[in-house]
Amino acid sequence: MTWKVYCPHCNKNNLKFRQEQKLEGYDFLVPDLKQNKREWIDCLDCNLSFSTPRLTKRQLEFMYDNYRSESFRGESPDEYFDRITNYPPEESENYQKMVWIKDKINSKFNPNKILDIGSGGGVLLHTLGNIFLKADLFGVEPTSNFAELSRKRTRANIINGFFDNKTFSDYQFDLITCCQVLEHIDNLNNFVANVSKRLNRGGYLYIEVPDISDFKTLEKTHSRFSEPSHLWYFNADFLCNNLFKNVLLLIDYSVLKTVRNRNNLMILFQKD
Ligand SMILES: [Zn+2]
C-alpha cells in the first residue's frame, strides 16, 4: 500500500499505520482545528512515529498561551508547586530521574550553569538547585503562568518564550535538561543543533520523552496519544542512532515506568 504521506523526518514513505486517534473536545483549544481525528504512523526507515495531520507552529503557540496556563489541575500555582516538590523520594519522578542521571555522571561533576528547557512551574529546577547548590539556574518556558511561578519559587533566571538560537545565547551550559518537550517540537533538527550549540564541551544533555512502548501498555484513548500538541512518538533507536547521531555522544538510556504507569524514555548525552 502506498501512503500519500511521507515521513516528515527522512521524507521516505516506507510507513506503517499504528492507530487512529479521536481529537474530540480540542476545538476550543485550537479554534481552526478542522479535523476531528488523526493517525499515528511509524516510519520503518528512520524509526520515528509521527501523527498526521499535525498542528502547525501557530496552532501550537496558541495552545501554550491559552490552554496550558490553566493546567494547574484545579490547584493554585503555589499548591501545585508545593505538592510536586514535597513528594517522598519513592513517589517523586524528579527524584528518580536525578538518581538516574547522577549515577551516570562523574561524581566530581560540578556544573556552573544549568538550563532546563520547557521548565514549566520550576519543579525540576527546584530539585536541580538542591542537588547542585552552587550552579546558576536557567529556564525557558512558553506558558506565562508557569514562567511566573518558577520565577517566584526558584532562584532560576527564567525566559518566558520558546527555546531557539537566541535563548540565553550569551551563556554556555554544563547541563541541559529537556523533559517532555521534544514531542512538541515541530523542527527537530533545528532544536538539536541549537541545544548542542549551548552545551560546553564535556557538558551533558538529559532528554526525557514518552516512550513508544506506551502504545502497548496504555489504553488507546489515553491522553498521551490524543494530546494534539504531541507531534511525535520516540524510541531509543530514533533518538540515539538517528536524531542525535554525530551530534552528541550517547552515555546511556533507559525506559522508566512512572508511578502513573507511563513509560518515559530517558537518555543522557555528552558533548565531545
Ligand atoms: Zn522517517
Instruction: Tell me, in angstroms, the distance from the centre of ligand 1 to residue 15's CA.
Output: 8
Strand 173-179 with 113-117, pairing: parallel
- All structural domains of the chain with their residue ranges: 15-270
CA distance 81 to 87: 11
What pLDDT is stored for residue 178 in this prediction?
98
**How many angstroms is it from 175 CA to the middle of ligand 1?**
29
For residue 71, how many C-alpha atoms fall within 13 Å in the half-sphere facing its CB?
A: 12
Q: How many whole angstroms separate alpha carbon 89 and alpha carbon 40?
A: 35
pLDDT of residue 18: 94
Instruction: Give the span between the Cα atoms of 110 and 133, in whole angstroms.
Output: 9
pLDDT tens string, the chain, 272 residues long: the values are 455 789 999 999 999 999 998 876 666 555 566 667 889 999 999 999 999 988 888 888 888 877 655 566 688 889 999 999 999 988 888 888 888 999 999 778 899 999 999 999 999 999 999 999 999 999 999 988 899 999 999 999 999 999 999 999 999 999 999 999 999 999 999 999 999 999 999 999 999 999 999 999 999 888 888 888 899 999 999 999 999 999 999 999 999 988 788 999 999 999 99
Instruction: Report which residue type is found at 67.
Output: Y
CA distances from 40 to 7, 15, 58, 114, 254 (A): 11, 10, 21, 34, 23
- Report helix, strand or coil for 192: helix
CATH number of the domain located at residue range(s) 15-270 in this protein? 3.40.50.150
Q: CA nearest 157: which of 116, 204, 207, 97?
A: 116
Cell of 99: 538518581
Q: How far is the CA of 249 from the centre of ligand 1 (A)?
A: 22
